[in-house]
């Protein structure tokens, strides 16, 4: 049950309830509420805060936004480039909290005030595919190692140096972990160190990156607070607990990291090449069909790649054909005369996906509607309905993808499918299908964003 004195607020952008605060002794919490503003310092990075398709996105951005909803205040973000700068901003009293993927370490515990731990990570040595890979700190002594200054990685490396005196590295004050991963990918340096969540996201864009070995046990990310934050810290502990119980933490993990669980190096390299070689021939088709059916065109393009690798003459052993791999019956249903005509196939696929979305109940909200519709496109709407029924039986939420993707594979187990109207289904396939489309779309949009930034730079 919620803590007495708290009230539920509906956080529309994630579709779940989170909690607001209660009366506490005046301190930073009172100042935040009095000013109507929460000042947060963060970093510009894929795992924290970045400009997405429709404005700011990122795991930390979304988590902080939910907190601000509970406090009924606005958020002002200060976006910096380095961990050192983030920590200094909080220490100087220029922000109410730091939400920047900060690892809680023993050394930092003595210098900073931390809020609740909320995300497990592990420090990993990252090098490049095609080069000799170190497998231990001893072998790492033969590599040119560079890490971001002011990070927890330096603490760990110094501890390892006590055991391996020849271990050396360069602390880079001008580059963050993401930039150093890029330099490894470009072969400008041999290796770097980064947290596992940073590596998981960035290897989608830089697929030649390889994890050599971990150098730490599991650690925890936590927000950093100013000293005058007794009541605010107590509030955060209660809020995080309620956020976990309400499903917010699981939902945000699914949104930002769920697609990153599947990684195929060869497939990703081919995909990135085909963005340049094949996509331009069909981009207009994707844009026009998506606009007509009010779908994100990048999602439609990613789905087409998952279906056919943008090959309009693709054919499967089961008889589905074309760019969107339509069955003969589905093609007739959506008005496609020739499944091998790429324009017809894309329009037909978009129409069919739109039909799946329209059949979903209004209780399925936000991006979950896209994932549900894609799953139905793959496995059939009847089996999706069975999965929702099964989710209810198992006490899971039938309206959230984070729950349904755990239930769908159970459609292949007799103890579950025997009592469902449509019976057996290879339920793991739509889960993999959705995950891969999300992955392609994420990498695709990252490529487009980089191109737009490059084009806007002065010559």
Mind telling me the catalytic residues?
Answer: 307
Q: Let me know: does 72 contact 235? Beta carbons within 8 Å.
A: no
Q: Is 413 exposed, middle or buried (0-12, 13-18, 19+ CB in 10 A)?
A: exposed
HSE-CB for 255 with a 13 A CA cutoff: 24
CA 432 from centre of chain: 16
User: What is the DSSP track for 211-227?
Assistant: EEEE-S--EEEEEEE-S
Nearest-angstrom CA–CA distance, 121 and 197: 6
Q: Is 280 exposed, middle or buried (0-12, 13-18, 19+ CB in 10 A)?
A: exposed
Q: Which helix (H) or strand (E) holds 326?
A: none
Q: In what order do the strands lie in the sheet with 192-195?
A: 192-195, 123-128, 209-214
Query: Beta strands 8-11 and 55-57: pairing type?
Result: unpaired
- Retrieve residue 181's tokens: 């991963």
Q: Measuring CA to CA, how many Å separate 28 from each of 79, 201, 354, 441?
A: 21, 34, 48, 41
Query: Beta strands 146-148 and 170-172: pairing type?
Result: parallel
Q: What is the CA radius of gyration of the chain?
A: 24
Q: Which helix (H) or strand (E) holds 415?
A: helix 414-417
What's the residue count for the chain?
A: 459
Q: Let me know: does 27 contact 236? Beta carbons within 8 Å.
A: no
Q: Let me know: does 308 contact 315? Beta carbons within 8 Å.
A: no
Q: Is 390 exposed, middle or buried (0-12, 13-18, 19+ CB in 10 A)?
A: buried
CB within 8 Å of 413: residues ≥ 6 apart? none
End-to-end CA distance of the chain: 60
């Amino acid at each position: 049950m919620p803590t007495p004195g708290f009230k539920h607020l509906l956080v529309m952008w994630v579709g779940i309830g989170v909690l607001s605060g209660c009366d506490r002794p005046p301190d930073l919490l009172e100042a935040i509420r009095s000013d109507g503003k929460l000042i947060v310092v963060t970093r510009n990075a894929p795992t924290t805060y970045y400009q997405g398709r429709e404005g700011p996105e990122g795991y930390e951005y979304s988590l902080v936004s939910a907190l601000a909803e509970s406090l009924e205040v606005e958020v002002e973000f200060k976006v910096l480039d380095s961990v050192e700068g983030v920590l200094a901003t909080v220490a100087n009293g220029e922000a109410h909290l730091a939400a920047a993927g900060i690892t809680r370490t023993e050394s930092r515990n003595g210098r900073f005030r931390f809020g609740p731990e909320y995300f497990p990570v592990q420090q990993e040595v990252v090098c490049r595919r095609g080069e000799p890979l170190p497998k231990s700190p001893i072998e790492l002594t033969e590599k040119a190692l560079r890490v971001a200054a002011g990070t927890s990685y330096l603490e760990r490396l110094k501890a390892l140096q006590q055991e391996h005196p020849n271990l050396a590295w360069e602390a880079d004050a001008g580059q963050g972990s993401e930039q150093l991963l890029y330099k490894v990918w470009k072969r400008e340096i041999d290796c770097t160190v980064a947290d596992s969540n940073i590596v998981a996201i960035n290897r989608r864009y830089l697929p030649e990156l390889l994890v050599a070995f971990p150098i730490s046990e599991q650690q925890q990310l936590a927000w950093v607070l100013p000293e005058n934050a007794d009541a605010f810290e107590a509030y955060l502990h209660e809020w995080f607990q309620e956020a976990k119980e309400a499903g917010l933490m699981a939902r945000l993990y699914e949104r930002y990291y769920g697609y990153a669980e599947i990684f195929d190096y060869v497939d990703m390299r081919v995909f990135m090449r085909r963005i340049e070689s094949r996509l331009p021939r069909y981009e207009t088709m994707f844009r026009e069909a998506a606009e007509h059916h009010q779908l994100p065109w990048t999602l439609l393009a990613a789905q087409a790649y998952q279906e056919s690798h943008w090959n309009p003459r693709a054919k499967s052993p089961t008889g589905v054909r074309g760019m969107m791999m339509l069955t003969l019956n589905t093609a007739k249903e959506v008005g496609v005369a020739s499944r091998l005509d790429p324009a017809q196939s894309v329009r037909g696929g978009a129409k069919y996906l739109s039909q799946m979305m329209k059949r979903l109940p209004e209780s399925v909200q936000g991006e979950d509607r896209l994932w549900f519709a894609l799953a139905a496109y793959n496995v059939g709407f009847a089996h999706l309905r069975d999965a929702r029924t099964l989710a209810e039986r198992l006490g899971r939420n039938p309206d959230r993808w984070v729950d349904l993707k755990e239930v769908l594979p159970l459609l292949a187990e007799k103890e579950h499918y025997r009592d469902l109207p449509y019976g057996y289904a290879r339920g793991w396939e739509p889960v993999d299908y959705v995950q891969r489309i999300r992955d392609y779309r994420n990498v695709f949009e990252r490529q487009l964003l980089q191109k737009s930034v490059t084009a806007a730079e002065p010559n």
